[in-house]
Amino acid sequence: MAFLQQLFPWITNGPLILVQVMSGLSVGMFLFLVSAGMSLIFGVTRIVNLAHGAFYMVAAYLMSSLVSLFPGHPLWFWVALLVSSLAVAALGGLIEVTLLRRIYRREHLLQLVLTFGLILIIGTLVLMVWGPENRTVPRPTALAGSLDIFGQPFPTYYLLVLILGPLIALALGLVFYRTRWGMLVRAATVDRDMLGALGVDVSRLFTQVFILGSWLAGLGGALAAPVVAVALGMDAEVLINAFVVVVIGGLGSFAGSLISALLVGQLQSFGILIFPAISIVLLFALMAVVLIVRPWGLLGRPEE
Amino acid sequence: MSEVILRTVGLKKHFGGVQAVDGVDLEVPRGEFRAIIGPNGAGKTTLFNVITGDLRCDGGRVYFNGHDISRLPPHEISRYGISRTFQITSIFRRLSVLENVQTALLTHRRRHYDLLTPARPLFREEALALLARVGLEQEAARPSGVLSHGDQRRLELAIALASRPQLLMLDEPTAGMAPRERREIMELVARIGEEEGLTLLFTEHDMDIVFRVATRITVLHQGQVIAEGTPEEVRANAEVQRIYLGEHG
Amino acid sequence: MQWREMVGRLPLPLPLVEVRLQLWAVLLGAFLVVIPHFLSTFYVFLLTEMAIVALFAAAFNLLMGYGGMVSFGHAAYFALGAYGAALLVKKAGFPMLPALAAGPFVAAAGALLFGFFIVRLTAVYFAMLSLAFAQIVFTVIFKWYSFTGGDNGLLGIWPAAFLKSPIAYYYFVLAVTALGLAALYAIVSSPFGYALKAIRENPRRARYIGVHVKRHQLWAFVLSGFFSGLAGALFAFFNGSVFPDLAFFNKSFEPLVVVLLGGMHAFSGPLLGAVGFKLLETFVSSRWPVYWPLVMGAILVAVILVAPQGFAGLLARLAWWRKR
């Protein structure tokens, strides 16, 4: 113990550890929002949407513009949150209908490259609209401060995420497990042939799923805007993190994304404390280990 | 009684709670044309997959020519002299018809780690001869994926024959074909089988074909062997009539 | 629309295209030998880079086009080749040529180690695990200051005296690339290559004709890593330095883009793609650096939707039309 304490002086600091766990949880919630959308889209359409991170970025930039329209107005922040995430959902729907729909039957490689092309296009468009400087989004006044947890500060805004994240997870769970639409989505994920038997309009279902998935990415981006640097390149960063989360959890598995997002959140939160120099590599090491031990992720199912 | 080429002892395989293959004992003598029949879901394809190493069995043993091959992967089993075809035609769709067969010949001769010899002229004549045998010599240069369904089945047969098997396993060789095509392909299979002295093990839904080609029939139901005998014996078996033939009217 | 119509089966195979190589190779070779004498140093450098990118992309295409395996982390092997050579020069005092020759072996060793795990997966998972290993390589290079120099890189990796001039080094790269491409061409036309294509088409069937699929894929991975490392080592001496970005994931997408532009089902695809890619990059990105990714993205989307077989496919279609 003494040895451990020498190595990690924070190990006996209970409040610090608690705050780390909580901030890990809120990071996990952000990751969950983004990766659940990606996993959902993959589960149904079998497309790994590399542009998912770009959607997230667009929402954050939209947020930065919208919030500054009426700064200080107590409700406006929430309106902006809704508008920017819905705008991204619409963007996703547009892309699905005009581009992705044409390549569902093609090799997955071509699908990957097409969505990679979208990253480049969207990234440049964002640069053209908003310019190269980083932008900041103020937090709503009520959530601007920080809480005191046994003497450790914890940003109030994170508390919002800690509450909103589980609520959204719950709502999604209800949609997937309690509605006919959700049943169709799960059916598509598990056994695609069943859909044909049910006589479902598959292309409409695909579009709807893509819109919902994009909305989740947008919501993640809009929510994250006040706590991250809204900058070019945030798309790649979030894409890689979300990707890792989805792959660890198992592509197409909703519960898998949730578990793995929380896991990765903690890993990031404590990785910085334990191995500050190589915290980035931890993420990939974790993914490599999971893929080696369980090649289809924690809760994924093998592809035939 | 002639020498047994394939023997399974108490073979088992389950998926979740379903016992797909439930203690199957088979003895197939060399040169026999054995049909495995049974209603959908009887475990025929699973039995094939377990024998050929595609699936790992949960219990029991498979012996081929006296060798225990129970736990071997497909690529090793193929080297012992077992070839198979699949319910859904399995060929190399974007390779030419000739390349399909050439590749099978190359790998059978263990040449596939050769990095330097140009492969194009290798075993060309032999491949063309095999194609002629299944009636595809005219199609040699075409991409195999554009062939008709029946011709793709013939090609698959040629690929399976390229590794000079002793036992040829055919999983519903006539699935999805027109009646005339069905007869043709089964006649072809039977002719080649006789000429080469092959042992055939096949599943089939078309009873006309089964009774015409098989020398002996095994009936599978819910993963278990419920009857076995000559076509006449099986036809006369009351239980078989009840659970299987009855269903088809 | 019913499911089967949308995603069920692969569409009918596109006819495979192979632009006639022999005659063109000779003509092209002669052209490439003569041309630098008429060009400024800028263009000699550009040609040198094209050759290196072509070799890298052709090595990558051994996996993607011929093996059906998409790696998102091939920069790792390019970087291992580059750093392997650079470290031998800097830390072990090797002369240029032995260091250059050792680079690909370092990359192949890395490919063997990582590939052992990667080839056990398929499709998207294959891509992701290759990306994960590449990020690990990147991080190790980036963080290990005492050995790799971290983000300061390693400087002063110059070619031997007789290769100092741009034209001399260009000829050297041209010769090595030609040898590398010849070796890759031999591999794809060999029995090994036939079996590899068979695995791409139908791994299950390949297994049943006696191929140990995973082992075969692993050797293909190692070979691909070897030639990627060769390209990396050539690049190290061309650039005079190595930096961690060589292993960054942006670099991993370069061969992917090049191969797609050129056409992945033709051996000449990566070569055509490298020329097109480098020309575009040089002229578009120097004039409108901001729009470069937009142009690149738009080209990719257009290629996928309109010409999934790339330049090589277009050429083959053209040839077919002219024959009629």
Determine, yes or no, domain membership for B86.
Answer: no
Q: What is the reported pLDDT for C169? A: 96
Measure in Å the smallest separation between the Cα of A184 and chain C Cα atoms. 13
Residue B174 and residue B76 share a domain? yes
Going by C-alpha positions, the residue among A214, A179, A218, A251 that lies closest to residue A95 is A214
Q: What is the reported pLDDT for C323? A: 66
Q: Is B121 exposed, middle or buried (0-12, 13-18, 19+ CB in 10 A)?
A: exposed
Determine, yes or no, domain membership for A212.
Answer: yes
Model confidence at C214, pLDDT cuts 50, 70, 90, reads: very high
A190: containing domain: 33-141+150-293
Option in C14, C190, C204 nearest B116 (CB): C190
Does A128 contact C at CB distance below 8 Å? yes
The set of residues, in sequence order, having a beta carbon less than 8 Å from that of C138 and lying 6+ positions away, is C75, C76, C79, C244, C247, C248, C249
Residue B104 and residue B42 share a domain? no
Residue B11 and residue B76 share a domain? yes
- What is the distance between the alpha carbons of residues A212 and A44, in angstroms, rounded to a whole number? 12
Residue B178 and residue B63 share a domain? yes
Option in A110, A124, A280 nearest C308 (CB): A110
Q: What is the reported pLDDT for A304? A: 45
Does A243 contact C at CB distance below 8 Å? yes
Model confidence at C299, pLDDT cuts 50, 70, 90, reads: confident
Give the relative orientation of helices C166-189 and C191-201 as an angle to the nearest 10 degrees.
70
Overall average pLDDT of the C126-146 stretch: 87
- What is the distance between the alpha carbons of residues B70 and B60, in angstroms, rounded to a whole number? 8
Determine, yes or no, domain membership for C129.
Answer: yes
Model confidence at B249, pLDDT cuts 50, 70, 90, reads: very low
Residue B171 and residue B248 share a domain? yes
- What is the distance between the alpha carbons of residues B96 and B236, in angstroms, rounded to a whole number? 47
Determine, yes or no, domain membership for B87.
Answer: no
Does C74 contact B at CB distance below 8 Å? no
Does C182 contact B at CB distance below 8 Å? no
Q: Give one DSSP letter per residue of C138-149, joined into a string.
A: HHHHHH-HHHH-
**Cβ contact B54–C204 (<8 Å):** yes
Distance from the Cα of residue A3 to its chain's centroid: 38
Residue B181 and residue B107 share a domain? no
Measure in Å the smallest separation between the Cα of C248 and chain B Cα atoms. 31
Encoded tokens for B225: 């062997």
Q: Per the structure, how many domains does chain B have? A: 2
Q: What is the reported pLDDT for B98? A: 96
Q: What is the reported pLDDT for C72? A: 87
Overall average pLDDT of the C295-324 stretch: 80
Determine, yes or no, domain membership for B62.
Answer: yes
> B98 and C212 in contact (C-beta within 8 Å)?
no
Overall average pLDDT of the B69-76 stretch: 93
Q: A243 or C21, which is more confident?
A: A243
**Cβ contact B114–C191 (<8 Å):** yes
C chain contacts of residue A196, beta-carbon cutoff 8 Å: 2-4
- What is the distance between the alpha carbons of residues A129 and A57, in angstroms, rounded to a whole number? 13
Q: What is the reported pLDDT for C2? A: 38
Q: What is the reported pLDDT for A6? A: 73
Going by C-alpha positions, the residue among C285, C72, C291 that lies closest to residue A121 is C291
- What is the distance between the alpha carbons of residues B173 and B186, in angstroms, rounded to a whole number? 8
Q: C143 or B146, which is more confident?
A: B146
Residue B128 and residue B192 share a domain? no
Determine, yes or no, domain membership for C208.
Answer: yes
With pLDDT > 70 as the criterion, what percentage of chain B qualifies? 97
C chain contacts of residue B165, beta-carbon cutoff 8 Å: none
pLDDT digit string, tens, across residues C228-272:
999 999 999 999 999 999 998 778 888 988 998 888 888 889 999
Does A247 contact C at CB distance below 8 Å? yes
Kindly list the distances between the CA atom of residue C170 and the CA atoms of B134, C17, C57, C162, in Å, as whole numbers in the listed order: 54, 30, 18, 12
Distance from the Cα of residue A193 to its chain's centroid: 29
Encoded tokens for C321: 């039309």
Residue B105 and residue B76 share a domain? no
B114: containing domain: 92-164
Whether the CA torsion C33, C35, C40, C46 is positive or negative: it is: negative
Give residues 149 to 168 of C whose Cβ lies within 8 Å of B: none
Going by C-alpha positions, the residue among C142, C158, C140 that lies closest to residue C85 is C158
The set of residues, in sequence order, having a beta carbon less than 8 Å from that of C71 and lying 6+ positions away, is C60, C63, C64, C118, C126, C127, C130, C224, C252
Q: Per the structure, how many domains does chain C have? A: 1
Encoded tokens for B240: 């078989």
- How many residue pairs from chains A and C have C-beta atoms closer than 8 A? 141
Q: What is the reported pLDDT for C22? A: 64
Overall average pLDDT of the B74-79 stretch: 94
Residues of B with CB under 8 A from a CB of C: 52, 54, 73-75, 78-79, 83-84, 86, 90-95, 99, 102-104, 106-108, 110-120, 122, 143, 145-146, 159-160, 162-163
Residue with tokens 């049974």: B38
C177: containing domain: 48-248
> C99 and C156 in contact (C-beta within 8 Å)?
no
Find the closest chain C residue to B158 by CA distance: C209
Going by C-alpha positions, the residue among A278, A164, A298 that lies closest to residue A219 is A164
Residue type, C218: L
- What is the distance between the alpha carbons of residues A269 and B22, in angstroms, rounded to a whole number? 51
List the single range of A61-70, A263-272, B112-121, C86-95 with lowest mean pLDDT: A263-272
Rounded to 5 degrees, φ, ψ at B200 are: -110, 140
Determine, yes or no, domain membership for C275.
Answer: no
Model confidence at B45, pLDDT cuts 50, 70, 90, reads: very high
- Residues B169-206: b if buried by 16+ CB within 10 A, e if exposed: bbbbbbbebeeebbbbbbebbbebbeeeebbbbbbbeb
What pLDDT tens digit does each residue of chain A (304 aa) get? 677 777 777 777 778 888 888 888 998 999 999 999 999 998 888 888 989 999 999 999 999 999 988 877 878 999 999 999 999 999 999 999 999 988 887 877 788 888 988 998 999 999 999 998 999 888 888 888 888 878 878 888 998 889 998 999 999 999 988 998 988 888 887 776 667 667 778 888 999 999 999 999 999 999 999 988 899 888 888 888 898 898 899 888 888 999 999 999 998 888 877 776 667 778 888 888 888 888 888 887 765 4
